[in-house]
Structure 1
Amino acid sequence: MITEGEATGGTDALERGNDRIRDAAKWLVASAAAVGAAMLAGSQLSSIGELPLGVPDSVDRARLWVAVTGAAAGLSTVVYAIWTAVQILLPKLVLVSDLDAAWTQRRSELTTVVEHFRRNPKYLQGFSTPADIITAREELIAAQREPSTADDVRTQLAAGIADLDERITAIEDTATHEALKNQFRHALRKLMLATAVAAIGIVAFAWAANPPAVQPTADLRNARFVDAYLRDADLRDAKLDHADFTNADLTGADLTGASIGGVVWRNTICPDGTNSDDNRHTCAGHLS
């Protein structure tokens, strides 16, 4: 028979363990909420409102879709993480009848708890299975209710029932603690996956919602660059229509995206080092 001190001490130890698990869950909730708040705050500092809306047929047009998808993934996983952690904080009690129902099942929510009791039969308080202690208690109650049972025997039966109730309480406390531990382990695995998804979402949102500053396009239409030394010049996306590059040296210049309609190429050193006069008086096709 277990003593009151042993029962109280064991229960207190399990309760302290449960409190530590729930404290860790509270930190997980707070951490997930902080990540969500950081994402919302970061969206205020982004340029998402300036992103073009349309079919994502280019990098710039795809940024809005990537940002929305990243934000949705990040916030969804944050909500999921909070919901998962909150489940640990909800009251949980595994009854001996629940343990008995799961004892012979191949797979159930309490499978790991059942395996714990099978590995450590001492936690069954001297019984082989949960069904044994349930049956023993029912038999004592039935005997106590018999009209022919003497008062002194009835008193002994009541003491036996009280003893079994203490044992059942100890079993249920152990089962509840093990179930809570297993729930926390499963939650951690889910939260690790959710954290990875949230991180990818945050990175995608940060990249998409903060495009690089647009370089101003130089308008050099009709400009005269006669005898100009323009080696390694940065003329990307410049408007060079009808410009005059007679005798100019453009060796190594970057004309990516530049418009060159009507440009005069006469004795011009093209960006690739060739002479325009050798290229049918043009640098088109020799800009890199």
Structure 2
Amino acid sequence: MSGLNEHLELATLRIRDTAKWLIISLAAVGGVFVAGIQLSDIGLLELWSPRFWGAILGIAFAAIGGGIALWGAVLTLASDHVYLNHVTDQDLVPRAAKNATAHKTGGGDATEEVPHIQGFKNVEELRNKYHEVLDKRRELLRQNSGLDKESNKTEGENPTSGKQGQPEPDDQDFDLVDNYAVYLDGIVRNVLAVANLSRARHVWRISVTMIASGAVVASFGIALFAYASNPPAPSAGSVVNTSNVVTPLSAKLQLSEQGRQALGDALGSNCDLNADLTIVVLGQTEAGPDVLANSPKCNPVRLILDADWGIIKTTVSKTP
């Protein structure tokens, strides 16, 4: 039984260690995240502006989320040790067995054999028997103590007599009670180990939910603070080189055979591709003129005119 007891205690310690290292890891990730926030523009925040309140809310969310996650870890790390007087039958029944029993009985109670109590009906019977045997062993030890024997002899009473003095107990009776107490002690240790593991798992499920929820809330707060504390830079005017600005010009475009094949579908079936097309020259690019074809009965098409698609003919007028 000692092997099982040690195994269960190690499992409980692993749950607590997992909670400890999980919160440490989340704190490290949060620290890296916070360290990466650019705070050089935080001085640009206007007091009482929407971004100012956004930064305040971000700090509040981050603090609340961190507190929730930390409290979730503390629940597991500081969970109380379960004592025999507080153990119930439900602490010893695996969760899967509880769900199966509830499913069979439609959620009601059912009498199921409680594991780990070695033939006792329930934990209460084991607890009562354990206390009874311990009391009996304590009484036998007291009767076998030298103080009682010396007291009986001093009074001139016969220690083996049941009439004048208290009879001296048989060593064989004491050995039987002591062995039974040791046997029950092993059962109780296993019961306590199982109960502590069961309680630790239950608290851990609550802790995981709290840690995950707190991490999400804290991440949202950090992101909100990062957004609010880095407002966009004030827009500045710019000067454009006037040589890059082209006034739109109206012109005519005569398509080549290659141009008619390339643009026929885009201009539409009603467009006369053999006639000169009315266009507006919008600008000049490295690939060719940027033009807008807007002839009557043709679909309006904006394109970069390839040199092989046609030639631009006489300019008609400037487009206002």
TM bracket, shorter-chain basis: 0.5 to 0.7
1:130 corresponds in structure 2 to: 123
1:93 corresponds in structure 2 to: 81
Where is the strand percentage greater, Structure 1 or Structure 2? Answer: 2
1:50 counterpart (44, 60, 71): 44
Amino acid paired to 2:91: V
- Contact kept? 1:14, 1:177, Cα under 8 Å: yes
> Where in structure 2 are there 5+ consecutive unaligned residues?
99-112, 144-166, 240-244, 249-320
Matches within 5 A, 1:262-277: none
- Same amino acid, percent of matched pairs: 28
Alignment length, in residue pairs? 201
Evaluate the alpha carbon distance shift between residue 87 and residue 46 of structure 1 in structure 2; reply closer, same or farther with a 3 A threshold. farther
1:187 corresponds in structure 2 to: 207
1:210 counterpart (204, 209, 230): 230
1:73 counterpart (57, 61, 76): 61
1:24 corresponds in structure 2 to: 18
The structure whose RCO (Cα within 8 Å, separation 6+) is larger is 2
Evaluate the alpha carbon distance shift between residue 214 and residue 125 of structure 1 in structure 2; reply closer, same or farther with a 3 A threshold. farther
1:116 corresponds in structure 2 to: 94
2:183 corresponds in structure 1 to: 163
Matches within 5 A, 1:236-247: none
Residue 138 (structure 1) shift: 2.4
Q: Root-mean-square deviation (CA), in Å?
A: 2.9
1:82 corresponds in structure 2 to: 70
Q: Whole-Å Cα distance in 2 between the matches of residues 182 and 91 of structure 1? A: 10
Residue 140 (structure 1) shift: 2.0
Amino acid paired to 2:128: T
- Contact kept? 1:29, 1:86, Cα under 8 Å: no
Residue 167 (structure 1) shift: 0.7
> Where in structure 1 are there 5+ consecutive unaligned residues?
1-6, 55-60, 104-111, 220-227, 232-288
- Contact kept? 2:39, 2:229, Cα under 8 Å: no
What's the CA shift string for 1:61-80, capped at 9, x where partnerless? 11011111112211331233
- Contact kept? 1:33, 1:82, Cα under 8 Å: no
Evaluate the alpha carbon distance shift between residue 44 and residue 86 of structure 1 in structure 2; reply closer, same or farther with a 3 A threshold. farther
Residue 92 (structure 1) shift: 4.1
Q: Whole-Å Cα distance in 2 between the matches of residues 28 and 207 of structure 1? A: 27
Which structure has the larger Rg over C-alpha atoms? Answer: 2
What's the CA shift string for 1:69-122, capped at 9, x where partnerless? 11221133123312321332336421121114xx5xxxxxxxx63653985612
